Structure 1
Amino acid sequence: MKARIGDIMEIRELAERTGVPAKTIRYYEEINLLPSPSRKPNGYREYSEVDVDRLKLVTGARRLDLSLGDIKEILDLRDRQIAPCGVLLDLLDNKAKEINQRIIELQVLEKDLKQLFSLGLTFPADDVEGKNCVCHLVSQQAELESTYKR
């Protein structure tokens, strides 16, 4: 039987309603993203619509690639009756900037890969030792990277 508003549900139904595996729900409880639920006499966890809403917020924030620590900060503010909107907006802005930087890095990587591929096509494909083939180019790339990081 499906839970209605105000009904209590077990972890299986919470998982079905939110798309979050029961194992993940237990983990979120362990790290205090979700409060420890009350338990039935048989030990089964009991959840309510409040837990559904909270878990949906966690799930949405994870889909936006917010860290569990960031999500905990948001939830802690809400738990203390403090609106987390400003903090969340800052987190979203920072995440967008981080993703933009990552896109730039990936574009540079794509360019490097295409250049290595084109150059690699000019080498023989049967050099077992890797001294005169594309393998050598990849090794040189690793050496260059380690030089730049020093």
Structure 2
Amino acid sequence: MYRIGELAKLCEVKTDTLRFYEKHGLLSPLMRTESGYRMYTEEDAERLRFILRAKAVGFTLAEIAELLSIDLDKSNWACADVKGMVDIKLAQVSAKIAELNHFQVSLKRLSDACCGGPESAEHCSILEALESNSAEVKRENHTHQHQNNPNKASCKRKG
């Protein structure tokens, strides 16, 4: 039997994490002592490890609850049911990666279009692109003269 702090230490989580999982119905102590301490069994420790592994691969609390219910009633479920949950999660992660790749390309395009100089942002290509209805990012037209240093590029637009 483990008290809450002992189980938390064993699984390298905070006691608040255990309380959180208890609040959401994922974990419940076998009993409480007369002084009110939560007491957990080795089975609870295994359940917590299951929760932590499922969380580590990206499952939500609701999905973890469903996986736990399947785990408790394995004989009434097929492997295809569990694989289906994993495949749905995999598709969601793949879609998120594609979205993040799109963000990366778009941000790179915005960054590359701007000189990043110290001049006024009046004609900043990033701000203009974000204000525009067009998906196109226009590169700043740099003059290659600066008031004090003719070799320093400027963000000011020509004409």
Tell me, yes or no, whether TM beats 0.5.
Answer: yes
Conserved 8 A contact 2:8-2:15? yes
Amino acid of the structure 2 residue aligned with 1:97: A
CA distance in 2, matches of 1:91, 1:136: 42
May I ask how many residue pairs the two structures share in their alignment?
134
User: After the TM superposition, which of the residue ranges 46-55 and 79-88 deviates more from structure 2?
Assistant: 79-88
Q: Please give the alpha-carbon distance, in whole angstroms, between the structure 1 residues aligned to 2:83 and 2:98.
A: 23
Residue number among 49, 52, 55 corresponding to 2:48 in the alignment:
55
> What secondary structure, in the 3-state scheme, does the structure 1 residue paired with 2:94 have?
helix
Structure 2 SS opposite 1:33:
coil
Runs of 4+ in 1 over 6 A off after TM superposition: none
**2:27 alignment partner in structure 1:** 34
Residues 130-145 of structure 1 aligned to structure 2 (within 5 Å): 130-137=121-128, 139-140=130-131
CA contact (8 A) 2:113 2:126 kept: no
**Aligned partners of 2:24, 2:15: CA distance in 1, in Å?**
14
- Structure with bigger helix share is 1
- Structure 2 match to 1:69: 62
Under a length normalisation based on structure 2, what TM-score does the superposition of the two structures give? 0.73
Superposed displacement of residue 79, structure 1: 3.3
Q: Answer whether contact 1:74 1:87 (CA < 8 A) is retained.
A: no
Distance 2:79 2:56 in 1: 18
* Residues 53-87 of structure 1: per-residue CA shift (max 9 Å, x gap): 00000000001110100111121233345457443
Q: Which runs of 5+ in 1 are unaligned?
A: 1-7, 146-150
Q: 1:11 to 1:83 in 2, by over 3 A?
A: farther
Deviation string, structure 1 residues 9-28 (Cα, Å, up to 9, x no partner): 10111001112211010111
* Structure 2: gaps (5+ residues): 136-159
1:109 corresponds to which residue?
103
Q: 1:7-22 counterparts in 2 under 5 A?
A: 8-22=1-15
Structure 1 pair 58/99, CA: closer, same or farther in 2 (3 Å)? same
Q: Which residue of 2 aligns with 1:118?
A: 112
| Identity level (%) | 26
Paired AA for residue 38 in structure 2:
R
- Which shifted more, 72-81 or 35-44? 72-81
Flag the structure with larger Rg. Answer: 2
The one-character-per-residue Cα deviations of 1:100-125 (angstroms, maximum 9, x if unpaired) are 1122222221111111111111x753
Partner Cα separation in structure 1 for residue 72 and residue 52 of structure 2: 17
